[in-house]
Structure 1
């Protein structure tokens, strides 16, 4: 926001959007090429601008840097504001450059014919290392993604592998068989170091194919495979054909959507440890219903998701869940947000039998039985004072990007 305010000085940016002459709503969606598409909705609210509206779209490539994204976004915001500014006194001082680089035009013409036929390939890896005196943790992984997305088709293939290596050192005073301390030559109790090593491996792949048969109906399938030792899966493979209905056409998906998805899934589970139900390998069939609602309006944004599933061979195994994400502006100065997810679980068929050590549990190597899980975060914000302070001053900004303790 600081960059936009410093680049666009012909207008004042109001903290209270209800008092502004022009309201700008920015929606974003990921495009088929891996980049992002921004939808800019300009709405005149007051004075001579009331009732005037316009919408622009900004497409960014996956390879664009943050600077390139914000520079292009700012340029389109300028274009969208130009008709509004032209009707004010400030328009007399604004200069618009309508020249375009010939090389840019040539690149645009070349891009209209795609030699890749909309296929996009992406490979990457990442690592995280944390070191302390008595513990260390190393996480590393890699992934590959291949997709082709058009208005009618959605095809994707992906794979991911992760490895987590954790090492802890516990210092324990040495005692003899009678429980008495063991001393060294100087009379000090000997301290032993007990080293614990933990290794958690995960890998998985997925393939999805979706075909649109109307602006609101689509069908397709998902194929997945994964290893997850924390959930006792040596390997799990699944196939889920499904149909989906969107109550709103895809043309307005940036602003609102309500999708209902139903599918039947076949799962083959191969377990690391025998489960509490006595299984080491099993194939189960289940069905699931998923619904998602999304609204992105001037008052804020709201996303609600719901799911229900149960195994068809035993209706006693089922689960349901609800999640809500909302950022709502009640007035121009008062807003609140909420992130909440809750699940009621009665289908933990993967739970391993047997006893586990405290270290197994604390390190996250195993999953404990639980009938439910809830995760919430919420808050509010009230701002008052000047609505016209557009100065940007970044002196003494931040903590030099350090995340630890000063």
Structure 2
């Protein structure tokens, strides 16, 4: 007896049952993921806002690695102004000072951290170390917001920390050598430049010793209508500085410089000069602010390559220098300015006054002023060669010429407006 066929609707329901189960599970998983995504987005809206004030930082890397805060373009919109300043260490590395300045809801909640990179560190190692310290500083603020519920903390390494005193077999001495060459050319002209340097430095809290020797040579060759014109210049410089820390504001020290220069008509110049310096602010605040007053006096001994306009082939003079330098790195921008004056004791009319400055200031929201420049009044060109300079020496700048002043400068304005947030990093098509 034949069996009645199963109703088609029942057969279809049985066939679709596994597919419907999979879709139901996927729907639930997607709903949970969507809920988690929405939850994270909601938490991020309450996360601290940060204005990253660091001209030398890899900002895209920082934004990618530290994603539990919101980055804003204007400092006044930020709850945290993260100011990063740098200065060189005695070993040739870099000390980063990270100043976390609380604003708005975190006003008055300020912190300072430091990170030191070695001169042998790669760029990736440096930025990873800097990000690690940034995370530590920002957690103090993120921990006070709901985003803290989604942040996990871990410690790398399980070994015990050694309590033995570190012994430095180099006794803080750091030596370095460098050399470089540049060349270019075409059918009618060639140019090359060679440079090399040696240095020995030792920096401790009590003493600072820096010695550098460098040499440079430039060569031009031109071919024009069958003639060949060659021109060259060279220079050598030895600079030694020894400084003793006296107090938190005072230092004493001495310079020793020796040099030669075909451009300046100097066969040999030697100048030892003791010095004293006072900083209005404590030296420990040097990464944020300095107002230094420096005075030095010493001997200036010259031996010239050719007779000078004063009919001298050598001379020994005494002179003195005074300078004041202001360095500020604040929330509103950076200012660096120096005013220097010098004269010889035997003739006060042989002198120079120099002023140079570099500043970057945020005038109003989104508007920034950038300026750098220098101006000098020059009355101490004792080494000028007697006689007229050739056209080649003038055009190729192979010989120093008489002048009563020199200057250079640059000024610019930039204005940015629109969304205050700058969290997103998109590396597609490179930097375009």
Query: Which residue of the other structure, out of 126, 129, 142, is the alignment partner of 1:72?
Result: 129
Query: Which residue of the other structure, out of 147, 151, 154, is the alignment partner of 1:90?
Result: 147
* 1:81 aligned partner: 138
For residues 125 and 398 of structure 1, what CA distance do their matches in structure 2 show? 31
Query: Which residue of the other structure, out of 205, 219, 225, is the alignment partner of 2:252?
Result: 219
Q: How does 1:1-150 map to 2 (within 5 A)?
A: 1-47=59-105, 49-100=106-157, 102=159, 105=161, 112-150=166-204
TM-score by length of 2: 0.84
Query: Which residue of the other structure, out of 358, 366, 369, is the alignment partner of 2:391?
Result: 358
Q: Where in structure 1 are there 5+ consecutive unaligned residues?
A: 173-192, 400-406
Query: Which residue of the other structure, out of 276, 291, 298, is the alignment partner of 2:309?
Result: 276
For residues 207 and 16 of structure 1, what CA distance do their matches in structure 2 show? 43
Structure 1, residues 226-276: CA drift from partner, whole Å, max 9, x if none? 111101111111111111111111111111111111111211111111110
Structure 1, residues 346-397: CA drift from partner, whole Å, max 9, x if none? 1111111112211111111101111001111111111001111322223333
Give the CA RMSD over aligned residues: 1.6
Query: Which residue of the other structure, out of 299, 304, 316, is the alignment partner of 1:266?
Result: 299
For residues 205 and 336 of structure 1, what CA distance do their matches in structure 2 show? 37
Query: Which residue of the other structure, out of 309, 313, 334, is the alignment partner of 2:367?
Result: 334
For residues 101 and 132 of structure 1, what CA distance do their matches in structure 2 show? 61
For residues 330 and 340 of structure 1, what CA distance do their matches in structure 2 show? 19
Which structure has the bigger radius of gyration? Answer: 2
Q: Note if contact 2:77-2:420 (Cα within 8 Å) is conserved in structure 1.
A: no
* 2:350 aligned partner: 317
Structure 1, residues 59-112: CA drift from partner, whole Å, max 9, x if none? 111111111111111111111101111111211111111233639x56xx6783
Q: Any runs of at least 4 consecutive aligned residues in structure 1 with deviations exceeding 4 A, and if so which?
A: none
Does 109-118 or 82-91 show the bigger shift? 109-118
Q: What SS is found at the alignment partner of 1:395?
A: coil
Q: Note if contact 1:15-1:332 (Cα within 8 Å) is conserved in structure 2.
A: no
For residues 157 and 110 of structure 1, what CA distance do their matches in structure 2 show? 32
Q: What SS is found at the alignment partner of 2:149?
A: helix
Number of residue pairs the alignment of both structures matches: 374
For residues 351 and 111 of structure 2, what CA distance do their matches in structure 1 show? 47
Structure 1, residues 284-308: CA drift from partner, whole Å, max 9, x if none? 1111101111111111111110100
Query: Which residue of the other structure, out of 304, 319, 334, is the alignment partner of 1:286?
Result: 319
Q: What SS is found at the alignment partner of 2:128?
A: helix
The answer as to 2:275 corresponding to 1:242 is yes
Shift in CA distance, 230/110, structure 1 to aligned 2, threshold 3 Å: farther
* 1:187 aligned partner: none
Q: Where in structure 2 are there 5+ consecutive unaligned residues?
A: 1-58
* 1:308 aligned partner: 341
The structural deviation recorded for 1:133 is 2.4
For residues 231 and 256 of structure 1, what CA distance do their matches in structure 2 show? 36
For residues 385 and 320 of structure 2, what CA distance do their matches in structure 1 show? 24
Q: Note if contact 2:239-2:256 (Cα within 8 Å) is conserved in structure 1.
A: yes
Q: Note if contact 2:75-2:331 (Cα within 8 Å) is conserved in structure 1.
A: no
